[in-house]
Structure 1
Amino acid sequence: MQTVLLILGPTASGKTAYAIDAAIEHNGEVINMDSMQVYRDLHILTARPSAQETARVPHHLFGHVDGAIIFSTGAWLEAAHSAIVDCQARGKRPILVGGTGLYAHALTQGLVPTPPVPAEVRANTRRLVSDDIKAAYARLLVVDPKSARQIEPKDGVRIARALEVFEATGRPLSVWHQDPHPPLLAAGTWEGVALMPQREVLYQRIESRFKKMMEDGALDEAHALYQRGLDPSLPIMKAVGMQSLIDFFQEQCGYEAAVARAILDSRHYAKRQMTWIRNRAAAWKVIDV
């Protein structure tokens, strides 16, 4: 069987081009490992590979999910495993590429089993976080201090997730994390590469790329998604840059201010990605790009 190649990196680090080159060199096919690029609604804003790029080598799991769906890590893991097995059965090397470290971790270290959360509990928890995120984080510090220390106080999504698991089960999320399922990729069956540009170079790339996205139609596709009236808590609505563009659509800010904020949000996101890679993928081969 062909070993699996995993390629991680912050946004705008050149992962797409690197993956395509690797696929051509190693008789491989590219599989998506990015939680936003699974959605079909935001092709440009999520920097999904272009038609010209996907024509060079086969690509899998890009843009196949509707924005109204919550595509969980477990759902991605199942789809990615099927794609990996299919590639290997045809003698192709699976090359997974993306910026979602959680996907890579679940694939190589195992997925943490968590119970279903009743809709009422989820709604109440999200309301608490939405109304007063400081109070929600303070409660998390009491009921699950270990999880709280690993979550930024402004990360409402992860705060809500940890709280809802505790409220539904009485068991902290950190305790659930102690018993993960076995990884789908065993040691020795995969290798990991992390693309890590110099920060200032990366920030310049982020700015120029986002402005190019706007020129290429990202504003129109974001507006089309906004007009669907989807639940703001859905993952697709939290794509980097989407919230600032929504503020522009709602006339809460001007266009230039929305673009500037989106670029800043992208920089912050890239910084978090690089921190995750340094801490959680420290044994991976690092390539300075």
Structure 2
Amino acid sequence: MARRIVKIIAGPTASGKTSLAIEMAKKEKAGAVIINADSMQIYDAVPILSAQPDAQERAAVTHKLYGLLSPSEICDAARWCQLALTEINQAFEQGVQPILVGGTGFYMKALTNGLSPVPDIPEEDHLKAMADSHADLPAFYKELQACDPLIAAKLKPTDKQRICRAVEVFRVTGQPLSYWQDQPNILPDPSLEFEMIIMRPQRDWLYERINQRVHIMIEQGALEEVKVLMAQIENGNVPEHAGVTKAHGFDVFQQHLQGKVSLEEAIVKTQIDSRQYGKRQDTWFRNQIKSGGLIKKIDYIDLPAR
């Protein structure tokens, strides 16, 4: 049986992953398909805020899983793995090279290292947990301390997303998340092999690119994008705490459109938040992704090129 090698390009936001992916795809003699591995770029409502590939880039190479889901839909690592595997298998059937590209490290690690066998959480239970966390986070954290003290001890009381995940798992399954994490991981497809490229940018270089990207987003219409999503939330078509609202810039640009902060303040805050996110991504990829198992090879690209 021929080896089923999937190529992955990973790294922090604004580090040039898309450009490299297109360059690599064009060099594949049999052709290639670029598959999204970013938790925000999968939504159709935020192409500008999530910096999805533009029309020219998509015309150069086939792109999959970009703008696929509506803002009311939920996407977690398990669902993304299912979607990605469908595209990967289709690429192999067509004889073209699948190239995964993105900055959501947990998605990639789920595909390469497997996931804990946590049962699916119904959407209504997820939305209820999200609403409870927004209503009274300190009380919600106390609930976590009571039902899963091991996880609670690892999390900051302000880590709303992870607290919500742990509480909803206990509410639905009756078992703490720490129990499920102790179970053997389940590999989505053990027949795959992965070759990774991880972008390692210098901080000053990356931060300048992030600052520029925020200005470009404003020029491209990010405020209108936020305005449309705000209207969908207001009329009830999109849950107030939907995953898509975690797109960097949404909250602060929403505050600007509500007259709470100036545009300049919103831009500066988005730049700061995005730089901090880029730093966290960079640290995560440096520390969490190692060769071994299904990951057969890791190459690092230091930026800017010397």
Structure 1 length as normaliser, TM-score?
A: 0.92
Are 1:243 and 2:256 matched, yes or no?
no
Q: Quick one: distance in 2 between partners of 1:118 and 1:41?
A: 23
Q: Quick one: distance in 1 between partners of 2:269 and 2:203?
A: 18
Q: Quick one: distance in 2 between partners of 1:99 and 1:106?
A: 13
- Residue of 180, 183, 203 corresponding to 1:179: 183
CA RMSD of aligned residues (A): 2.1
For residues 185-200 of structure 1, the aligned pairs below 5 Å read 185-186=189-190, 189-200=193-204
Residues 164 and 81 of structure 1: is their aligned pair in 2 closer, same or farther, counting only changes over 3 Å?
A: same
- Equivalent position of 1:159 in the other structure: 163
For residues 117-128 of structure 1, the aligned pairs below 5 Å read 117=121, 122=126, 125-128=129-132
- Residue of 278, 285, 289 corresponding to 2:299: 285
Shift of 1:240: 0.8
Residues 86 and 128 of structure 1: is their aligned pair in 2 closer, same or farther, counting only changes over 3 Å?
A: closer
Cα shift readout 1:69-106 (whole Å, capped 9, x = no counterpart): 11232222111111101111121111000011111011
Assess if the C-alpha contact under 8 Å between 1:38 and 1:61 holds in 2. Answer: yes
- Equivalent position of 2:55 in the other structure: 51
Give the 4+ runs in structure 1 shifted more than 6 A. Answer: none
Residues 83 and 125 of structure 1: is their aligned pair in 2 closer, same or farther, counting only changes over 3 Å?
A: closer
Q: Quick one: distance in 2 between partners of 1:114 and 1:176?
A: 6
- Residue of 223, 227, 230 corresponding to 2:231: 227
Residues 222 and 118 of structure 1: is their aligned pair in 2 closer, same or farther, counting only changes over 3 Å?
A: closer
Q: Quick one: distance in 1 between partners of 2:24 and 2:159?
A: 35
Assess if the C-alpha contact under 8 Å between 2:49 and 2:217 holds in 1. Answer: yes
Are 1:218 and 2:229 matched, yes or no?
no
Q: How many residues align?
A: 289
Shift of 1:164: 1.7
Are 1:257 and 2:271 matched, yes or no?
no
- Residue of 73, 76, 86 corresponding to 2:77: 73
- Equivalent position of 2:11 in the other structure: 9
Structure 2 length as normaliser, TM-score?
A: 0.87
Cα shift readout 1:194-227 (whole Å, capped 9, x = no counterpart): 1110112111110011111101111111211111
Residues 171 and 58 of structure 1: is their aligned pair in 2 closer, same or farther, counting only changes over 3 Å?
A: same
Assess if the C-alpha contact under 8 Å between 2:137 and 2:158 holds in 1. Answer: yes
Residues 119 and 220 of structure 1: is their aligned pair in 2 closer, same or farther, counting only changes over 3 Å?
A: closer
Structure 1 range deviating more: 176-185 or 28-37: 176-185
- Equivalent position of 2:134 in the other structure: 130
Structure 1 range deviating more: 182-191 or 43-52: 182-191
Gaps spanning 5+ residues in structure 2: where? 292-297
Cα shift readout 1:19-48 (whole Å, capped 9, x = no counterpart): 111111233210111111111111111100
Shift of 1:113: 2.4
Residues 143 and 30 of structure 1: is their aligned pair in 2 closer, same or farther, counting only changes over 3 Å?
A: same
* 3-state SS in 1 of match to 2:196: strand
Assess if the C-alpha contact under 8 Å between 1:2 and 1:92 holds in 2. Answer: no
The amino acid of 1:249's aligned partner reads L
Residues 119 and 96 of structure 1: is their aligned pair in 2 closer, same or farther, counting only changes over 3 Å?
A: closer
Shift of 1:151: 3.6
* 3-state SS in 1 of match to 2:8: strand
Are 1:205 and 2:199 matched, yes or no?
no
* 3-state SS in 2 of match to 1:186: coil
Q: Quick one: distance in 2 between partners of 1:111 and 1:163?
A: 18
Cα shift readout 1:229-273 (whole Å, capped 9, x = no counterpart): 222210111111101011112222111111111111111211221
The amino acid of 1:114's aligned partner reads V
Structure 1 range deviating more: 125-134 or 243-252: 125-134
Percent of matched pairs sharing the same residue: 39
The amino acid of 1:18's aligned partner reads L
- Residue of 38, 41, 58 corresponding to 1:37: 41
